[in-house]
Amino acid sequence: MKYVAVTGGVISGLGKGITASSIARILKARGVTVTPLKIDPYLNVDAGTMNPYQHGEVFVLDDGTEVDLDLGNYERFLGENLAGNHNITTGKVYRSVIDKERHGDYLGNTVQIIPHVTGEVKRMIREVGESSGAEVAIIEVGGTVGDIESMPFLEALREMQQEVGRREDMAFIHTTLVPVLGAVGEAKTKPTQHSVREMRALGIQPDMIIARSEKPISQDIKTKISLFCGVPPEAVVSVPDVACIYDVPLNLEKEGVGDYLVKRLGLTNRPAEWGTWKTFTTRYHEATGEVNLAIVGKYSGLKDSYLSHSEALHHTQGQVGVRVNVHWFDAEPFGTPNASLAPLEKMDGILIPGGYGKRGVEGKIRAIEYAREQKVPLLGICLGFQLAAVEVARHLLDQPDANSTEFDPATKHAVVGLLKEQGAIKDLGGTQHLGAQKVLLTEGSRVATLYGRKEILERHRHRYEIEPGYITPFTEKGYRATGFSPDGRVEALELEGHPYFLGVQYHPEFLSRPEAPHPLFVGLVQAAIQHHNGGEVPSHG
């Protein structure tokens, strides 16, 4: 088993996750099997209870684990599904160590950071690597070098480097910032030098430096970094900002990262295969025409809160060949009766994502009402799906006080209520249905046509559901339930006579990939294209 550790310095947010994902994809393109891991130094056991404004979206895996959004990047870049043990947190590590101490596993020894906590970190990393059967494990360490929270993890990796025995079995890649300052645009290497010195003080010598900057850095700057940081010149890699993150693996390939890593790790250097990836990026950049898509959410101030949604739309652009302009709208200002919805008039489609809490709910409902009345294509996901049902009940069933019991426990018309079977809910950060679950689609429905099959497996993250008593009155108004769980929960609703008014309880954005865009997002964009061109998508059912 070989290991590649990706660390960060200077500032956070430099793109360690994209770097780790790109390196994994570069190795995969050469036929090397890889498995990624993300280390998050926070004390939370998982990301499930974290505010999206603090840490971006919560990504959900097939097994129901709520994890850091970087695991979404890993899945998208590799086209593979991961499990919860691919995300290691301080909370997980300390909980395991304390459980073992209570169980007596340490035989009365004083439990310490070294060797017990670092030993647990190494055990978790090796367990994932060895159980995957992969040749290389890519380990991303969250935070920046110097953070007190990251120290035990960096120490564990230093120990691993010593224990693997052979130099070619472990490599360190350090991501740093090379800022450009002053009117002459001089690139500054001091932050990188200090960051690498901090790594060396911990006993770790980077093998490669990913130099992040707004623009490509010159060969002179690369040579200077090489000299002061003790890495070969060919291992100083310029990674400037890009418009599309899916260009990064190809850019790193051009910089020689693949050849260098294969040599450094003692792997067989096979020709890289980039066929479908290049096809996607070419279509993405050569997209002609445009459509305008609105995402109306409550966390729109931080776009990472809806990262998987925006990425799914990027994937769709690479397939349909039409530029998808994403416009972000805070739902809250739309929520008052006299608030103007004029900003939505230029939109060719509307996406209502999930969320928790009452804030912004009425604004989302008004946006849904606008989409229904004006025949604007709409996709509602999770809470967006539930609120679409509330909107239909209010305005088509003449129940103006219809609501979800999440927002009005005393409502006389509870369209949405708590999940009935609490025993089916996993204890993973909250009382929710989580993870991949089977959904049965109605033959001939729009949703079944989009998928091309009647049985699907989709990821869930919710604690409320559509009340089954509404199925019949909805059907009478042409609002048909066209997707169900095996035990009868409503999973999809679509409105007849509308170009595209579709809601789903699950989260399709988590399964969209660059080389395989999710069909519901493709359907939304195709409907938006026809709306932009003045046409309509044929109604199904």
- Which residue numbers are catalytic? 382, 507, 509
DSSP H or E stretch at residue 200: helix 190-201
> What is d(CA 352, CA 387) in angstroms, rounded to the nearest whole number?
9
> What is d(CA 483, CA 541) in angstroms, rounded to the nearest whole number?
13
For 310, other C-beta atoms within 10 Å of its C-beta total: 20
> What is d(CA 315, CA 393) in angstroms, rounded to the nearest whole number?
34
Nearest Cα to 45, choosing from 29, 67, 25?
A: 67
The answer to whether residues 180 and 187 touch, using CB atoms and an 8 Å cutoff, is: yes
Q: Identify how many contiguous H helices and E strands the chain contains and give both numbers.
A: 17, 24
DSSP H or E stretch at residue 53: helix 52-55
Evaluated on CA atoms 11, 8, 428, 74, the torsion sign reads positive
DSSP assigned state of 98 = H
Q: How far is CA 74 from CA 15, 18, 305, 386, 514, in A?
A: 13, 8, 17, 30, 12
The answer to whether residues 355 and 299 touch, using CB atoms and an 8 Å cutoff, is: yes
How far is Cα of residue 66 from the mean position of the Cα atoms in its chain?
A: 11
Q: At what angle do helices 275-285 and 307-320 cross, to 10 degrees?
A: 90
The answer to whether residues 45 and 68 touch, using CB atoms and an 8 Å cutoff, is: no
Report angle CA 349, 355, 359 to the nearest 5 degrees: 95
